[in-house]
Amino acid sequence: MRLGRSGPQQQELGIRIPRPLGHGPSRFIPEKETVQVGSEDAMMHALFADSFATLGRLDNVTLVMVFHPQYLESFLKTQHYLLQMDGPLPLHYRHYIGIMAAARHQCSYLVNLHVNDFLHVGGDPKWLNGLENAPQKLQNLGELNKMLAHRPWLITKEHIEQLLKTEENSWSLAELIHAVVLLTHYHSLASFTFGCGISPEIDCEGGHTFRPPSVSNYCLCDITNGYHGVDDIHASPAASIPTTESVCEVEALMEKMKQLQECRDEEEASQEEMATRFEREKRESMFVCSSEDEESAPTRDVSRHFEDTSYGYKDFSRHGMHVPTFRAQDYSWEDHGYSLVNRLYPDVGQLLDEKFHIAYNLTYNTMAMHKDVDTSMLRRAIWNYIHCMFGIRYDDYDYGEINQLLDRSFKVYIKTVVCTPEKTTKRMYDSFWRQFEHSEKVRSSDASRTTLCSESYYSLYDLMSPAACRRWNVPQLQYGRGRYEASGPMVAIN
């Protein structure tokens, strides 16, 4: 940088000034269409203040998630409790588990944030050289981490009991509950980060460059004032002039919702037919893949935080592998998971319960330019489609509705965000719901939080093995059909 002195001479001070690589909090959403700091309403301002007080910064996840203040409030409360409040695990373990979870999905953005937090709370820098340098207790968690992230349907009671064995490096049940909640939280947050194209902040790795700007027709003072000369570079589907095709897309979707509701009122499919439609949708979901669906090696800096780098998502019905369908009715979060979590890690059950309900019910009754629309049918189709990809079935849902409501471009996007989030691209984001607002598209990415619910189903279900239940005096589940069935009275939680 050159600074003027008295007279025409200038002196090179050798100070390198970074400039942001991105423009705004998201690579997918034009900066001018995000919530601008300083123009937010009172509720958003309070959330910004809470986020800043907790994190010491106003991060880009917050700036995108604030499209939905109610969800952001629940998210911030849950994350603050998991990381900073009293709990079974020490603070540095919590951040290291966050690193392990984010690394499994190659999310360097979250990894780098928690590396800094890990060191700030006194974590040993040697652990950051690789998982093999961490305590054996954390290394033992690696198997559960990779299965939760990529193939949760393969988790069995043996995986859980191995971690709970009475030995030097074993986990208590309360510690394991805390660890599982952290793992699932950061797996789903990695999906949201990639699904919304979250950009690193200017002070983070990958968020800045020292190269001189290459965009012409503006001066250096424009960079200083935050103008980057790229307003016209980012094409926005929501901001563009509506095309006949995209408007028809919205109208066609609303018409399908109306027709399906009329069919529901007229007749109801039998249980056998509903089961057949679920199996059909489960098989069809295997063939939903994008042109970017290629094996991608994790970066070295991220992959050192986990083992078995070749392990990733595989459709559970491929390669002749048979996995029993997980019937949602066989396991109730309200009756089983909530009780277990709240007993061993007080208040977290309530926070997760609130988060699940907000994620499922969040709506503003809008669809693109239409107001006062009942979106419950569409929201349930998205929720159940994601669960279907993980082998979870709701007996009372007609899975034939999914193909009616979710087109291929949406399925490609949501499956990528949920199963291989690191492969999500702006092209995928732009290709679905082209006439919808960005807040609505972010809402669909929020639905990827369903993965948190899916992972919780499998992990908490197996945490309630008979041995664990007897040890901690919680309601026992009996084995049946490869999983468990409930037995005995449930513990009442006030």
Segment 196-223, tens digit of pLDDT:
999 998 777 776 666 766 544 444 434 3
What pLDDT, on a 0 to 100 scale, did the predictor assign at position 246?
59
Distance CA 108, CA 299 (A): 9
Evaluate whether 182 touches 484 at the Cβ level (below 8 Å): no
What pLDDT, on a 0 to 100 scale, did the predictor assign at position 249?
87
What pLDDT, on a 0 to 100 scale, did the predictor assign at position 101?
96
CA distances from 459 to 129, 210, 311, 333 (A): 28, 45, 19, 12
Distance CA 288, CA 414 (A): 10
Whether residue 107 is predicted with pLDDT greater than 90 in this model: the reply is yes
Evaluate whether 23 touches 230 at the Cβ level (below 8 Å): yes
What pLDDT, on a 0 to 100 scale, did the predictor assign at position 323?
62
Q: Which of 272 and 375 is assigned the larger pLDDT?
A: 375
Question: In CATH, what class is 19-208?
Answer: mainly alpha
What pLDDT, on a 0 to 100 scale, did the predictor assign at position 208?
62
CA dihedral sign, ordered 305, 307, 310, 312: negative
Show Cβ contacts of residue 393 under 8 Å, excluding neighbours closer than 6 positions: 275, 278, 325, 326, 327, 328, 387
Over residues 318-333, the mean pLDDT reads: 67
Distance CA 232, CA 321 (A): 49
CA distances from 198 to 53, 422, 493 (A): 21, 12, 38
Whether residue 396 is predicted with pLDDT greater than 50 in this model: the reply is yes
Torsion of CA 218, 199, 407, 319, to 10 degrees: 140
Distance CA 108, CA 190 (A): 9
State what percent of residues in the chain have pLDDT above 70. 70
Q: Which of 56 and 431 is assigned the larger pLDDT?
A: 431
Cα 59 versus chain centre, distance = 16
Residue 66 pLDDT level (bands cut at 50, 70, 90): very high
Over residues 276-302, the mean pLDDT reads: 59
Residue 395 pLDDT level (bands cut at 50, 70, 90): confident
What pLDDT, on a 0 to 100 scale, did the predictor assign at position 238?
45
What pLDDT, on a 0 to 100 scale, did the predictor assign at position 37?
86
What pLDDT, on a 0 to 100 scale, did the predictor assign at position 112?
92
Residue 161 pLDDT level (bands cut at 50, 70, 90): confident
Distance CA 78, CA 458 (A): 21
Q: Residue 326, exposed/middle/buried by CB under 10 A (0-12, 13-18, 19+)?
A: buried
To the nearest whole number, what is the mean pLDDT of the chain? 78
Distance CA 193, CA 189 (A): 6
What pLDDT, on a 0 to 100 scale, did the predictor assign at position 305?
80
What pLDDT, on a 0 to 100 scale, did the predictor assign at position 294?
44
Q: Which of 483 and 139 is assigned the larger pLDDT?
A: 139
What pLDDT, on a 0 to 100 scale, did the predictor assign at position 191?
93
Distance CA 82, CA 80 (A): 6
Over residues 55-75, the mean pLDDT reads: 92
Whether residue 433 is predicted with pLDDT greater than 80 in this model: the reply is yes
Percent helix, strand and coil across the chain, each rounded to 5?
A: 55, 5, 40
Residue 373 pLDDT level (bands cut at 50, 70, 90): very high
Evaluate whether 323 touches 478 at the Cβ level (below 8 Å): no
What pLDDT, on a 0 to 100 scale, did the predictor assign at position 473?
55
Q: Which residues pair with 480 in a beta bridge?
A: 483
What pLDDT, on a 0 to 100 scale, did the predictor assign at position 201?
86
- Report how far apart the first and last C-alpha atoms of the chain are (Å, whole number): 63
- The tokens describing 30, both together, are 């034009």
Whether residue 232 is predicted with pLDDT greater than 50 in this model: the reply is no
- The tokens describing 177, both together, are 């509950």
What pLDDT, on a 0 to 100 scale, did the predictor assign at position 478?
42
What pLDDT, on a 0 to 100 scale, did the predictor assign at position 236?
45
For Cα atoms 361, 98, 476, give the angle at the middle one, nearest 5 degrees.
65
What pLDDT, on a 0 to 100 scale, did the predictor assign at position 304?
79
Domain boundaries, the chain: 19-208, 248-289+319-470
What pLDDT, on a 0 to 100 scale, did the predictor assign at position 28?
95
Nearest to 425 by CA among 298, 310, 297, 291: 291
Whether residue 377 is predicted with pLDDT greater than 50 in this model: the reply is yes
Distance CA 194, CA 451 (A): 14
Whether residue 461 is predicted with pLDDT greater than 90 in this model: the reply is no
Whether residue 386 is predicted with pLDDT greater than 50 in this model: the reply is yes
Q: Residue 203, exposed/middle/buried by CB under 10 A (0-12, 13-18, 19+)?
A: exposed
Whether residue 489 is predicted with pLDDT greater than 70 in this model: the reply is no
Q: Which of 107, 196, 419, 453 is catalytic?
A: 107
Residue 237 pLDDT level (bands cut at 50, 70, 90): very low
Distance CA 227, CA 232 (A): 12
Q: Which of 151 and 299 is assigned the larger pLDDT?
A: 151
Distance CA 369, CA 254 (A): 12
Q: Residue 119, exposed/middle/buried by CB under 10 A (0-12, 13-18, 19+)?
A: middle
CA dihedral sign, ordered 68, 441, 60, 121: positive
Whether residue 300 is predicted with pLDDT greater than 70 in this model: the reply is no
Whether residue 109 is predicted with pLDDT greater than 70 in this model: the reply is yes
Whether residue 409 is predicted with pLDDT greater than 50 in this model: the reply is yes
Strand 392-393, strand 326-327: pairing: parallel
Is 107 annotated as catalytic? yes
Over residues 456-483, the mean pLDDT reads: 55
Which of the residue ranges 1-5, 327-331, 339-343, 424-428 would you say has the lowest mean pLDDT?
1-5
- The residue whose two tokens read 């041995």 is 467
Distance CA 426, CA 386 (A): 21
State what percent of residues in the chain have pLDDT above 90. 41
What pLDDT, on a 0 to 100 scale, did the predictor assign at position 312?
83
Distance CA 112, CA 204 (A): 8
- Reported as a single tens digit per residue, the pLDDT across 21-54 is 767 899 999 999 998 888 888 999 999 998 898 8
Show Cβ contacts of residue 334 under 8 Å, excluding neighbours closer than 6 positions: 353
